[in-house]
Amino acid sequence: MTTSTSSSWPSRIKSIAVYLVIPYIIGYLFSHGYLSEYFEQYLPTVGGGNGGNKRSLLSSSSDSPTPHQQAAPPSLAPQKCDLHFRNLLKVAEETFATFQNVSFVVHRNGDATSCGRSDMGERFVLELKKNYEALGNGVCLPQLNKYQVESILTKTFQDVLSNNDCHSVEKYGNKSKGFLGFCDGGKEHTPILLDHNDLVPVTSAKGEKSLPCRFHSREGLRVTKLDELTEMAKRPCGADDISANCHVAKNGLKEIHLYAVPAGRVFMFAPSHVGEIFYLPHVSGAMDKPIYLEVLNLEPRVFDVFNFFSREESKELVDRAIAETKESHRIKRSTTGAQSKSVNSRRTSESGFDTHGKTAVKVKKRCFKALGFDEYWESHGDGLQILRYNVSKAYNSHLDWIEDKTGQLEHDYESGGTGGNRFATILMYMSDLGPEDGGETVFPKAWPPTVPEADRIDQKQAIEQLRASPYGNVLEKGSWEEQLVASCRTRLSIRPHSSRAVLFYSQYPNGEVDPASIHGACPVLNKQKYAANLWVWNTPRTGYSGSPIKEKFRNKQSSEEAASPSVSFLKVNAQFVNSGKDESMSNAVLYYEDQFWGNLGSNDPPMAVNTYEGHIWNIKVGDEVKKTIVINEKDGESQVFSI
Ligand SMILES: *[C@@H]1O[C@H](CO)[C@@H](O)[C@H](O)[C@H]1NC(C)=O
Ligand SMILES: *[C@@H]1O[C@H](CO)[C@@H](O)[C@H](O)[C@H]1NC(C)=O
Ligand SMILES: *[C@@H]1O[C@H](CO)[C@@H](O)[C@H](O)[C@H]1NC(C)=O
């Protein structure tokens, strides 16, 4: 989405319309100066004031323009919000007994060991209610968006965790700030993601504001609504193997494990042992069977992925790749490096990109879901790369994490700081290769999980075995390819078969590169190997809007921005009220142009929206437009429309 400052009047209105889908409360907070000051510190590249904030809101919300009904009558305060809160949790009883025997257990992102817990589920929920009320600041919010949910969860955990060890480590954040210091890693360690300005800061007991965490289940599902907690509390534990997020501890408490992800970071699975299984029932695959992960190795984190894609999808991808003729996308000799210009003698495979094929897009979206993203962010992924390895072809061991060797690139690749780089790779095999055929993916820093230590062979023995085998003459003796086979036969290596996938991480949960994630593609000794991989980034990738730029290049950008003409439009806080005086309006409904906005009947609460001059609001009864309201700048920043 481009900035909305330069387009002509009608299209401008359209583009602003997207802004309207942002829940009212965000706008409410902005208009009251709650967020904007704080975030300007974290957003040095975005022009200050409303313009900057507006733009990033636009870019983050455009993917899912669902209208929310916004009903928040500020005049009703102060009142107790019991009913609203119970509605949000979807619990009927006033005592929150649903949470009686529930224990909330917190983990740091990627950490199988928990760092703190709250064993009194009801107390936790009461504390959560307090923070919900504080967030509304006198208003009983009828809806919470996911950022608000995350904010009050963060605050509540900060308040109630016992055995609280959930502070940041080393240089990441401020250890003495406890959980809040973990969630907000500070300016130096917080990449600015596309939805950064949507985050709702948490206020500490000392009155300091900080960024909230996100919370995921062990399987990566992001908690975006309060009633998901109720669901977790109610779900019978151990009734099926799929709900592995739930454990009954020795004391009879049912544990709900939540994995806290600091602002600006991305979720990572937290394996505890080789062979551990993670079912992902929330990710629908191509088959009836549920997708699941099996841990192959802990350091680096490598997972076998089952039922991830089908043979049909595999065939579609290969056929399309072979048929592709476009120079930028067709299968040809692979290149390496940040600028993708150099042919590397240690990478002899051929590859092409499938960015927009139907199957490719479907598979990419599935990858994001499996990785714990609750939204698909095109800018966080490369195209699906389709790889072909003919006999003898290979790719020597390397990292997928891109190293900025010269330091001359504008993109900030330092993912441990505020930069962005590849953090996860999902590799899909699309050919069946036998044990002697080669073509495995090897992790030279990891051992094969199924070979007892006493049975491991050394590299020399491996080469002897290769030379004595039927394919002993495929590779030149003493070549790097032959050396690589020695690794493949002694270290963790994964044999391709159609519809098998592998997931591994190139970063630690704190964003720093994981050097142990080094891996290679073993030479194919027989047949041919097709594979596809998706690299997923922890920020928008190079060249995309919102991708991190090194500080020394930032000034250049902002001066370019300053040079472009900007038009300022007045934002209006409008309120629509049904006074009840006009009986024909008793079932009125509010529309933004033709888009349903919310009920405005005589029993409905007033509806507040952020809107702009020139916007058209319709009041309908049935199909008939009873009244049209055009927002007029002259009437000021705050306008009330009563019917
Ligand atoms: C909690 O545990 C107690 C003691 O085992 C039991 O009596 C009570 O019914 C449980 N509450 C819920 C909501 O399951
Ligand atoms: C860490 O936080 C504490 C408490 O807010 C504060 O007193 C201290 O100065 C902070 N330390 C650093 C290095 O920012
Ligand atoms: C690999 O094999 C395919 C046939 O499957 C062929 O078209 C292609 O040219 C071969 N690539 C190389 C580099 O030999």
Asked if 158 and 150 count as a contact pair (C-beta separation under 8 A), the reply is no
Q: Is residue 16's pLDDT more than 80?
A: no
**Best probe residue, ligand 3, of 390, 393, 431, 528 (max atoms within 8 Å of C-beta):** 390
Relative to the CA of 99, which ligand 1 atom is closest?
A: 13
Confidence check: pLDDT of 309 > 70: yes
Please state the atom number of ligand 3 nearest to the C-alpha of residue 333.
13
Domains in the chain, ordered, with CATH?
82-265 (no CATH), 290-334+343-537 (2.60.120.620), 569-642 (2.60.40)
Q: What is the pLDDT of residue 270?
A: 97
Between the two ends of the chain, the Cα-to-Cα distance in Å is 36
Question: What Cα–Cα distance (Å) separates residue 355 from each residue in 324, 389, 407, 449, 545?
Answer: 11, 20, 29, 35, 18
* 215-222 mean pLDDT: 95
Q: Looking at per-residue confidence, does 15 or 365 come out higher?
A: 365
Residue 105: strand pairing partners: 117, 257
Give the model confidence (pLDDT) of 551-572 as tens digits: 888 776 555 544 433 333 456 7
Closest ligand to Cα 236: 1
- The closest alpha carbon to 201, from 127, 124, 135, belongs to 135
Integer Cα distance of 433 and 194 in angstroms: 41
CA of 354 to the centre of ligand 3 (A): 18
pLDDT in tens, 509-545: 999 999 999 999 999 999 999 999 999 999 999 888 8
- Side-chain half-sphere exposure of 406, counting CA atoms within 13 A: 7
**Distance between Cα 391 and ligand 3 center (Å):** 9
- Smallest-distance ligand from the CA of 100: 1
| Amino acid identity, position 486 | A
> Is any atom of ligand 3 closer than 6 Å to the C-beta of 390?
yes
Residue 68's pLDDT is 39
| 334 or 14, higher pLDDT | 334
Q: Does residue 601 contact residue 588 with C-beta atoms inside 8 Å?
A: yes
State the distance from the centre of ligand 1 to the C-alpha of 156, rounded, in angstroms. Answer: 24
Q: Is 176 in the pocket of ligand 2 (CB under 6 A)?
A: yes
Distance, CA of 643 to CA of 639 (rounded, Å): 13
pTM of the model: 0.77
Q: What is the pLDDT of residue 606?
A: 84
Answer whether residue 441 shows pLDDT above 90: yes
Q: Which atom of ligand 2 is nearest to the CA of 174?
A: 1
Sign of the alpha-carbon dihedral angle for 580, 585, 589, 592: negative
Ligand 3: residue of 322, 350, 387, 529 to mutate (most ligand atoms within 8 A of CB) is 350
Q: Is 404 in the pocket of ligand 3 (CB under 6 A)?
A: no
Burial class (CB in 10 A: 0-12, 13-18, 19+), 548: buried
d(CA 185, CA 125) in angstroms, rounded, equals 26
Give the pLDDT confidence score for residue 604 in this predicted structure.
Answer: 85
Considering every ligand atom, which ligand is closest to the CA of 186?
2
Rounded to the nearest angstrom, the distance between the alpha carbon of 88 and the centre of ligand 1 is 23
Which residue matches tokens 């589920």? 121
- Alpha-carbon distance of 390 to 529, in angstroms, equals 7
In this predicted structure, what is the pLDDT of residue 344?
A: 73
Please indicate whether residue 473, judged by its CB atom, sits closer than 6 Å to ligand 3.
Answer: no
- For residue 388, the ligand 3 atom closest to its alpha carbon is 1
Q: What's the confidence (pLDDT) of residue 408? A: 83
Mean pLDDT of 340-352: 77
3-class state of residue 559 by DSSP: helix
What's the helix, strand, coil split of the chain in %, to 5?
30, 25, 50
Other beta carbons less than 10 A from residue 366's beta carbon:
23
| Index of the ligand 3 atom closest to the CA of residue 390 | 1
Closest C-alpha to ligand 3, atom 3:
390
- Any atom of ligand 2 within 6 Å of the Cβ of 465: no
Q: Where residue 337 falls among pLDDT bands split at 50, 70, 90?
A: low
Say yes or no to pLDDT of 125 above 50.
Answer: yes
Q: What is the DSSP string of 110-154?
A: T-SSEEEEE--HHHHHHHHHHHHHHHHTTS--S---HHHHHHHHH
